[in-house]
């Protein structure tokens, strides 16, 4: 067996990658090449080559190094935008690099915690709290005390359900985030999260409740103009508050993902609305939209998406006029999120390239039909779809309900198998499965499936 490398060797590799990612460039092709090269280097790093006990001990320093690289890279987005370097190839390269460094930090955090998972009945940690490098604060905003939220702050989050993984991966570039909301601090100092949810539409909830509601990771963004940001937070709050009043009309979730009208909204469309109104039309988020791959017509038709491009939650990562204040992740669940991401990657890939399609059984048809009307029926019927959709909105199409349920019931058993493999790997060798290993395993899973993967059929 070859001798294990030390954690200092990994430090050296990360320092080299950091230098390449931040090297001065004058052209977009050069920048794309540099960032792509760093991504390839980090993607092929194998933690199994290093001493796992040293890595676990040095994890906080290594995580901090990856985070600082991410922040330095993120801080240059505005500069590269102003130089005209942010073409589609560079955008993709930046997103890939942000994602891969985050996965690396997650895996190190899991090793440091000795792969402790969140129990099914365990305590859910509130975002932007916790030790063991759960909360990573941008050095520019670190004043040595707890984070202070401000009106207009935008919070990008990832839930722990398979549907969250699907939303995060549905565009032309993979994201690790599925939902976004905006903060409002009222005159009494109370903090609120204003958001649009699939199941409820426009809502106002205490920020504390929103930050401990089944999250796995989050990023706090802040616009550089504090007056504009405050006005955006106020506008979002008042718009949703009025919609919930006796004289208002509730804001329904917009499944089409189109940007043209504000009669119905999805989560990031509310952020666009608030900043557009606050800037009197000068700001129209997002700066760099997500392209929706319409090759898979059947899947997009089923979930109700009609747009060819949209402001996806993950697009916040490239907004040049917003700073990243802090990132947070719960290392007890990041392994599950990573496995969900890989599974969803493959399911969507098979639907696109191998023409896999969802096929409803009679049971799914009935569940979806009952789920659609469960708003008016008993709690027992609601529970039939609760694993996949906690609360079914009255205007959600039956085919959308069916697709969400089938997606959940297709992905969950696959993730359970991968979770068992991960647990065995951790117990034997003390380091997690590499994403490339997971993707290879998933291809073997498909090959032995006989053309049927859960509710998907070739």
Summarize pLDDT for 173-208 with one digit per residue, the tens: 889 999 999 999 999 999 999 999 998 999 999 999
Q: What's the pLDDT score for residue 62?
A: 95
* Per-residue model confidence (pLDDT) at position 171: 85
> pLDDT: is 430 or 3 the higher one?
430
Q: How confident is the model at residue 130 (pLDDT cuts 50, 70, 90)?
A: confident
Cα–Cα distances (Å) from 203 to 190, 239, 287, 425, in that order, read 16, 10, 26, 42
Specify which of 2-6, 230-234, 253-257 reaches the highest per-range mean pLDDT: 230-234
pLDDT at 324: 97
CB 268 within 8 A of CB 285: yes
Whole-number Å distance between alpha carbons of 277 and 156: 21
Q: Mean pLDDT, to the nearest integer, of 19-28?
A: 86
At residue 426, the pLDDT reads 95
Residue 382's pLDDT band, with cuts at 50, 70 and 90, is: low
CB 252 within 8 A of CB 264: yes
Average pLDDT over residues 369-384: 57
CATH architecture of 135-329: Alpha-Beta Complex (3.90)
Strands 215-223 and 154-159: what pairing? Answer: antiparallel
DSSP state of 282: S
For the residues 19-25, what does the mean pLDDT come to?
84
The yes-or-no verdict on residue 246 having pLDDT over 60 is yes
Give strand pairing partners of 158. Answer: 217
Asked whether residue 391 carries a pLDDT value surpassing 70, the answer given is no
Q: Which residues, including other chains, have CB under 8 Å from residue 87's CB and lie 6 or more apart? A: 28, 32
How far is Cα 295 from Cα 348, in angstroms, rounded to an integer? 11
The secondary structure of residue 224, as a DSSP letter, is S
- Note the pLDDT of residue 454: 95
CA 361 to CA 379: how far, in whole Å? 23
Q: What would the pLDDT profile of 268-305 be if each residue is shown by its tens digit?
A: 999 999 999 999 999 999 999 999 876 677 888 888 89
Average pLDDT score over residue span 110-126: 82
Buried b (16+ CB within 10 A) or exposed e, 372-394: bebeeeeeebbebbeebbeebbe
Neighbouring CB atoms inside 10 A of 457's CB total: 14
Tokens 């200092």 -> residue: 8
Query: What's the pLDDT score for residue 40?
Result: 87
SS3 per residue for 9-20: HHHHHHHHHHHH
User: Residue 160 class from Cβ within 10 Å (0-12 exposed, 13-18 middle, 19+ buried)?
Assistant: middle
Integer Cα distance of 392 and 385 in angstroms? 8
Phi, psi of 304 (to 5 degrees): 90, 10
pLDDT value at residue 385: 55
The sign of the torsion formed by the CA atoms of 267, 302, 402, 404 equals negative
Bridge partners of 273, per DSSP, are none
Residue 397 class from Cβ within 10 Å (0-12 exposed, 13-18 middle, 19+ buried)? Answer: middle
Phi, psi (deg, nearest 5) at residue 201? 80, -145
pLDDT at 145: 75
Above 70 in pLDDT, residue 258? yes
> Mean pLDDT across the stretch 344-368?
89
Task: pLDDT band for 444, please (50, 70, 90 cuts).
Answer: very high
Look at residue 110 in the predicted model and tell me its pLDDT.
Answer: 96
How does residue 18 score in pLDDT terms, banded at 50, 70 and 90? confident
3-state helix, strand, coil in the chain (%, to 5): 50, 15, 35
What is the pLDDT, as a whole number, of residue 370?
72
Q: What is the Cα–Cα distance from 440 to 336, expressed in whole angstroms?
A: 17
Burial 323-358 (b: 16+ CB within 10 A, else e): bbbbbbbbbbbbbbbbbbbbbbbbbbbbbeeeebeb
Rounded to whole angstroms, the Cα distance separating 380 from 385 reads 10
Domain boundaries, the chain: 7-112, 135-329, 334-457
HSE (side-chain half, CA atoms, 13 Å) at 394: 6
Share of the chain above pLDDT 90, in %: 67
Judge whether 160 and 215 are in contact, CB under 8 Å: yes
């Amino acid at each position: 067996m070859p001798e294990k490398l030390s954690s200092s060797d990994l430090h050296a590799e990360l320092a080299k990658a950091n230098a390449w990612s931040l090297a001065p460039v004058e052209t977009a092709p050069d920048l794309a090449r540099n960032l792509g090269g760093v991504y390839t280097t980090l993607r092929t790093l194998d933690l199994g080559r290093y001493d796992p006990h040293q890595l676990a001990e040095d994890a906080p320093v290594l995580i901090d190094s990856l985070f600082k690289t991410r922040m330095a890279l993120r801080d240059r987005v505005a500069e590269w935008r102003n130089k005209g370097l942010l073409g589609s190839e560079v955008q993709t390269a930046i997103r890939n690099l942000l994602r891969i460094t985050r996965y690396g930090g997650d895996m190190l955090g899991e090793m440091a915690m000795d792969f402790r998972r969140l129990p099914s009945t365990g305590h859910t940690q509130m975002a932007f709290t916790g030790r063991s490098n759960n909360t990573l604060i941008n050095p520019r905003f670190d004043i040595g005390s707890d984070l202070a939220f401000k009106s207009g702050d935008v919070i990008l989050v990832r839930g722990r359900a398979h549907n969250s993984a699907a939303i995060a991966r549905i565009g032309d570039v993979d994201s690790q985030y599925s939902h976004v909301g905006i903060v409002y601090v009222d005159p009494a100092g109370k903090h609120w999260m204003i958001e649009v949810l699939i199941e409820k539409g426009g809502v106002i909830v205490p920020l504390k409740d929103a930050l401990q509601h089944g999250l796995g990771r989050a990023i706090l963004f802040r616009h550089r103009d504090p007056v504009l940001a405050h006005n955006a937070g106020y506008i979002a709050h008042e718009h949703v508050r009025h919609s919930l009043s006796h004289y208002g009309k509730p804001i329904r979730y917009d499944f089409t993902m189109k940007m043209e009208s504000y009669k119905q909204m999805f989560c990031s469309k509310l952020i666009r609305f608030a900043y557009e109104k606050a800037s009197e039309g000068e700001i129209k988020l997002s700066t760099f939209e997500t392209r929706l791959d319409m090759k898979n017509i059947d899947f997009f038709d089923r979930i109700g998406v009609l747009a060819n491009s949209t402001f996806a939650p993950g697009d916040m990562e490239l907004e040049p006029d917003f700073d990243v204040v802090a990132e947070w992740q719960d290392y007890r669940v990041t392994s599950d999120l990573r496995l969900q991401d890989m599974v969803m990657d493959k399911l969507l890939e098979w639907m696109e390239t191998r023409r896999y399609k969802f096929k409803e059984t009679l049971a799914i048809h009935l569940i979806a039909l009952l789920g659609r009307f469960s708003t008016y029926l008993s709690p027992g019927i609601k529970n039939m779809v609760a694993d996949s959709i906690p609360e079914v909105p009255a205007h959600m199409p039956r085919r959308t309900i069916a697709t969400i349920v089938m997606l959940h019931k297709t992905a969950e058993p696959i993730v359970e198998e991968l979770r068992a493999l991960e647990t065995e790997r951790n117990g034997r060798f003390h380091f997690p499965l590499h994403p490339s290993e997971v993707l290879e395993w998933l291809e073997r899973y498909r090959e032995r499936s006989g053309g049927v993967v859960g509710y998907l059929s070739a």
